Structure formats: structure tokens, C-alpha cells
Amino acid sequence: MLFTRSLATRRATAGPSLYTFSFWLLCVSNFLFSASFQMMIPELPAYLTKLGGKEYIGLIIALFTLTAGVSRPFSGKITDTVGRVPVMAFGSIVCFVCGFLYPYLLTVGGFLTLRLIHGFSTGTKPTATSAYVADIVPATRRGEAMGTLGLFTAMGMSLGPAIGSWLAHAFSMNVMFWTSSAFALLSIAILLQMTETLPNTQPFRFGLLRLKKEEIFDKQALPPFIVLLLQSFSSGVILTVISEVSTPLGITNNGLFFTVYTIASLVIRLVFSRTSDRYGRVPVLFISTIVLALSMGMLMLTNSTTWFWASAVFYGMSWGMNSPTVTAWTADLSDEKTRGRAMATMYIALEAGIGLGALASGSLHNHILGKPGVDASFAVAGFLALIAVAYLSWFWRKNRPGNQHRLDEADEVALLDGEP
């Protein structure tokens, strides 16, 4: 394969080192990748409106997440057979091509088609990235590793929207799209320097795209799937209607909410990167989901810039704990041979939640005009977060005696909280 050089054994068993050269390459690649697709998000609703597609605003995120979710089972299987690096490279290539083509498809149909195709990027790269990290880091530091990787991802998602909005207003939307494409190209260049961690890789063949029933969903990842599905609904809401909150407050750069919440997320990851390694995944997720529900309530009550920025901080704090913890939890529960499938299952929940949140908030915004429709979207997101809190509480009580995940020094990979 063009992108792969197989290793006979996995890096995860080679020693206790966490911050290897491969790990840092992956972090930088993830920064560029996340900045690439995220930088255009704040400006797309206004862009689609100018194209004459205001009634399709809810589809901006929904179509993207639809193909991301549909592609997850395929990316999981190919990650476990062809390799981690080729799947990561494919995701970045999709970002590069789509970013380049946006300025040339100037109809509503063309734009929505590109959003559909663009979704393949996040449907592939994060799946392989999570499996790659689990391969190269010690199990006892998995939560810390996911948190560190998340720092770079979050920085890309933080700086991307602000850079994108600045480029669109200072230059043009086309410059923003082409810059997005350039970031993806740099991500690809970095991935070409990385060593494959999957032993016994296979060449790609179209027969790998035929999925058996058991290859679509990994039952071992069911608990993280449920929690992330309920949590990520809020992300779809934020991506779709946050501009309806910021604009009346006089905030012209719609990307600043993303910047503030991501900075808060970065701080949390820096301070609490090893918390779930020490105290368990479920307790951390329990607290973080409460904070998520609180942030949705704060957005409903927002009537000043102070409340607006405070809600962004709380939202960022919740995801600063959520993202690395739920990813590490999924890796803990997964079988080493089907780790890609488990990660794909987790990301299906993420894409489905975001897509449903975008569709629901777009529909509420169209049918309940003004602030009441926006507030209803936040209310639904907060309610679903509270359901996740209840599920985690039940799961915690059910499995606490002798089963709760605490990685001992001699542990390899422990299953958090037993079987679902």
C-alpha cells in the first residue's frame, strides 16, 4: 500500500512511552484536519441563504453527519484490515477535495451534494485515529493520551471557525474554502510520514465493503454509544442555531462561541487529563454530562453577553471531559482485533446525535420563529443530557461492586464496568 508500512508488533506493547514521534505527528495532523472542516461552519448558514436555500439550513450539518455515520461501519472494518494510516489519509483527502470544490458549485443542490460527500471525511479519519492511538500508548495512560490528542483537535476546532470567519469577511468565502483545502493537504503530508501499527495488513479490495451483520455494530461499545448519542444532540443544536443567539447580542463573529468553548475544553484537558485513568470513566462522564445539561439551561436563559460567554465556558468544560473519556472507555471495552469497529460504533453515536440535533433544531427554528424556537432546541438538548445522567447513574450502581474500571499498574486493558 502507498501509505502503509506494517509493524510485526504493536507499539502499545513496546514500552511505557506515551509521547512518541508518531503520537506528535498524529496530534499535528489532527489539528490541521479539524481546523479544515470546522473553519467554514459558522459562515455556511449565511452562505446557503445567499444561494437561495435558507429553508435547508438544518441540512448543512445533517447531511454531513449522515454520510459520516453511514461510513462508520465501513471505516471500522477497513481500519481493522487495510490499516489505520490509509483510512486517516482518505479522510483528509476528502476534506482537501471538497474544500477546493465549494467555490465552483454555486447552486443549492451542488452545495448540499458537497456537504453530503464532505461527511466521509469525519466518517473515516477519527475512527482510524482513535484505533491508532490505542495501538501506540500504554493502556494505563489511555485517558491521558486521548486527552492530549483532543487538545490538538480542540485547538483546530477553536481556531478554525475564528480563522474562517475572519477570512470570509476580510477576503471572501472562496479564500476561506481554499484555505480549508490547504489545511487538509498539510494533514495528508504529515500522515505520509507515519508508520502503520496494524500487523498483517491487507490490500484494499471492494469486497471489504460488503459488511456482515455483526460488522456493522460492536455490542461491546453499547454503553458509550448510548451516552454519546444523548450527549451529542447538543452539538447539532449548537452548530445550527448558535448564531441566532449571538447575533441579537451584537456579536458579529459567529465563530467566537466555538473559540471560547474550545479554550475552556483545552484547559480542562490540561488540568484533568488523567482523571478518568485514576477514578474511572463512568464517574467522570457522570459529572461532565451534568455540566453539559447546565450549559444548555444557561443558553436558554441567555440575555447578555456575560451569560453567553459563561454558557460557552460550561459547554467547553463538559466536552473537555466527555470526549477523551468516552473514547478511552470505548477502547477499554473493545477487543483488540476489532478495535476499529468499536471506535466506529462510538462515532456512529456521535454523528447520529449531531445530525438529529441539527435536524430537530432546524425544524423548531423554522416552525417556532424567533427566540422561543431556539430555546426549545436547547431545552430538548438539556433534557436528553439529563437522560444520559440517569443512565450513567444506573449503570454505575449496577456495576460498581468489583467491576468499576480502575487501571492497576499491572493491568493491560481492563473492561470498564463489565458487560453491558
Question: What gap in Å lies between CA 138 and CA 13, rounded to an integer?
Answer: 7
pLDDT of residue 9: 36
Query: Rounded to 5, what percent of the chain is helix, strand, coil?
Result: 80, 0, 20
Q: How many residues does the chain have?
A: 420
Query: Which cell numbers in the block locate residue 249?
Result: 447580542
Q: Rounded to whole angstroms, what are the CA distances from 382 to 254, 304, 329?
A: 22, 20, 23
Nearest to 386 by CA among 303, 270, 298, 293: 293
The CATH number assigned to the domain holding 323 equals 1.20.1250.20
Domain count, the chain: 1
Is the residue at 2 inside a domain? Answer: no
Is the residue at 175 inside a domain? Answer: yes
Is the residue at 7 inside a domain? Answer: no
Is the residue at 234 inside a domain? Answer: yes
Count the alpha carbons within 13 Å of 184 in the hemisphere toward its beta carbon. 28
- Identify the domain containing residue 60 by its residue range: 18-202+216-403
pLDDT of residue 233: 93
Q: Rounded to whole angstroms, what are the CA distances from 40 to 165, 168, 181, 230, 291?
A: 7, 9, 11, 25, 27
Is the residue at 88 inside a domain? Answer: yes
Distance of CA 357 to the CA centre of its chain: 14
pLDDT of residue 150: 75
Is the residue at 382 inside a domain? Answer: yes
Q: Rounded to whole angstroms, what are the CA distances from 63 to 114, 158, 220, 239, 356?
A: 9, 22, 28, 13, 10
Question: What gap in Å lies between CA 251 and CA 3, rounded to an integer?
Answer: 44
Is the residue at 418 inside a domain? Answer: no
Cβ atoms 55, 180 nearer than 8 A = no
Q: What single-letter amino acid sits at 394?
A: W
Cβ atoms 84, 132 nearer than 8 A = yes
**pLDDT one digit per residue (tens) for the chain, 420 residues:** 333 333 333 333 334 556 777 788 888 888 998 888 888 877 787 788 888 777 777 677 778 878 887 887 788 788 888 888 888 888 889 888 988 888 888 888 888 888 888 888 877 888 888 888 877 777 677 777 777 787 788 788 778 877 887 888 888 888 888 999 999 999 888 888 777 877 778 787 777 777 776 667 777 888 999 999 999 999 888 878 887 887 788 777 766 787 788 788 878 877 776 777 777 788 889 999 999 999 999 998 888 888 889 999 999 999 888 888 888 888 787 776 777 778 788 888 887 888 788 888 877 877 676 677 788 889 999 999 999 999 998 888 877 654 444 444 334 333 334 333
Residue that has been written with the C-alpha cell 438538548 in this structure: 381
Rounded to two decimals, the pTM is 0.68
Is the residue at 319 inside a domain? Answer: yes
Q: What single-letter amino acid sits at 290?
A: I
pLDDT of residue 290: 94
